[in-house]
Amino acid sequence: MSLYPIFLKLDQHKVLVVGGGAVAEQKIEGVLRSARDVTVIAPEVTATIARWAADGRIKHMKGEFTAGMAKGYFLVIAATDSESVNRAVYEEAQAAGALANAVDDPDYCSFFAPAVVTRGDFQIAISTGGASPALAQRVRQELELQYGPEYGPWTEWLGRTRSVLRQVLPQGETRKQLIRTLALGRPAQTSDDPGTNGGKHGRCKTQ
């Protein structure tokens, strides 16, 4: 099965996560990078999820999932330790037209959450289509070594520079080539903070 890779903007959509354990916590942390309206249904939650709820980052509905609770959401993730509950959540969400994912159950997913390298706006997503999450995680760890934290601020700098060039240069091949040349560089590093300092100041070195 071929998949269409996509990055979603969730800031204007409602997200539901069913489950309150370690796996659910990982999924919630991922959606909070974009989502602003996240509801969690679980009788008990981890300390981290409880803190997010106390801080107002999520809404925690304490209790078990029951029929009807998955309606009205754009994206639904079922991350309980019960396969039957996860599948019930998926089927209800799917019937309601939501994007739905039952964790570790590929046949009950309308999307797969990839392993992600996140450096601010710079993100690399790795998926095996549900075949081997362990392989995706291994590749993520390798890429994290190759693309360090300095890529976050450097990406911001590239974005700002691109915006300026689009304002001061006419549309055409010269502007395109200059923008491409800048992206061929690498974030600068310094001896006092090899991971971040050079990128923080928006400098780069070309190869």
Torsion of CA 142, 144, 148, 151, to 10 degrees: 120
**pLDDT greater than 90 at residue 204:** no
Give the mean pLDDT of 75-93.
97
Assign 56 to helix, strand or coil: coil
Q: Positive or negative CA dihedral for 119, 121, 124, 129?
A: positive
Q: Report all structural domains of the chain as residue ranges with CATH numbers, in order of start.
A: 14-113 (3.40.50.720), 151-205 (no CATH)
Structure tokens of 17?
Answer: 């996560």
Give the mean pLDDT of 38-55.
98
**Residue 22 pLDDT class (50, 70, 90 cuts):** very high
pLDDT at residue 1, rounded to an integer? 66
Structure tokens of 32?
Answer: 């909070």
pLDDT at residue 192, rounded to an integer? 37
Assign 67 to helix, strand or coil: coil
**pLDDT greater than 80 at residue 70:** yes
pLDDT at residue 186, rounded to an integer? 87
Give the global pTM: 0.79
**Each residue's pLDDT tens digit, 101-153:** 999 999 999 999 899 999 999 999 999 988 898 999 999 999 999 999 999 99
pLDDT at residue 78, rounded to an integer? 98
**pLDDT greater than 60 at residue 199:** no
Give the mean pLDDT of 192-205.
41
Give the mean pLDDT of 9-18.
97
**Each residue's pLDDT tens digit, 154-169:** 999 999 999 999 999 9
**pLDDT greater than 90 at residue 195:** no
Assign 194 to helix, strand or coil: coil
pLDDT at residue 129, rounded to an integer? 87
If one counts every other C-beta atom within 10 angstroms of the C-beta of residue 15, the result is 25
CA atoms within 13 A on the CB side of 59: 9
**pLDDT greater than 70 at residue 193:** no
Q: Percentage of residues in the chain with pLDDT exceeding 90?
A: 85
* pLDDT greater at residue 57 or residue 204: 57
